[in-house]
């Protein structure tokens, strides 16, 4: 079992989720049940799956949950692209969040690789 709150990848995922909530507050209210809900769920899913996987008994289980977290990060990336193309998210916020998301994705992949090599 891993102490998920000590994992940098979990901490970064929490920061990203908070940032996504700040971004979605600015989206049109009629997107509340569309992009806003989807983006918030995807963003929360990332650290949640990292935490759940860290609490499992085996590295294999942890690795599986990291895969789910990675999938949620790709969902979020897609939703950010759509929001930017619809001009709901400005280019500056989009580029900043994309960069943070890409860094987080790389961290998740590296953690998966390290778990596989054990």
* pLDDT at res. 1: 61
What percent of the chain has pLDDT above 70?
Answer: 99
Cα–Cα nearest to 1, from 46, 69, 51: 51
* pLDDT at res. 19: 97
Residue ranges per structural domain of the chain = 4-116
Whether 14 has a pLDDT exceeding 70, the answer reads yes
Whether 13 has a pLDDT exceeding 80, the answer reads yes
Band (pLDDT 50/70/90 cuts) for residue 2 is: confident
HEC letters along 52-81: HHHCCCCHHHHHHHHHHHHHHHHHHHHHHH
pLDDT tens digit string along 42-51?
A: 999 999 999 9
In CATH, the number for domain 4-116 is: 1.20.1440.60
Whether 53 has a pLDDT exceeding 80, the answer reads yes
SS3 21: helix
Given the structure tokens 């992949």, which residue do they identify? 109
pLDDT tens digit string along 63-77?
A: 999 999 999 999 999
């Amino acid at each position: 079992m891993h102490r998920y709150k000590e994992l940098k990848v979990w901490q970064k995922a929490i920061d990203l989720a908070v940032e996504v909530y700040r971004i979605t507050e600015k989206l049109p209210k009629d997107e509340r049940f569309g992009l806003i809900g989807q983006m918030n769920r995807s963003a929360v899913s990332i650290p949640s799956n990292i935490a759940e996987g860290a609490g499992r008994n085996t590295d294999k289980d942890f690795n599986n949950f990291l895969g789910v977290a990675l999938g949620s990060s790709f969902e979020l990336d897609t939703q950010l692209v759509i929001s930017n193309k619809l001009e709901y998210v400005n280019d500056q916020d989009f580029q900043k969040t994309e960069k943070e998301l890409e860094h987080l994705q790389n961290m998740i992949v590296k953690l998966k690789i390290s778990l596989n090599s054990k």
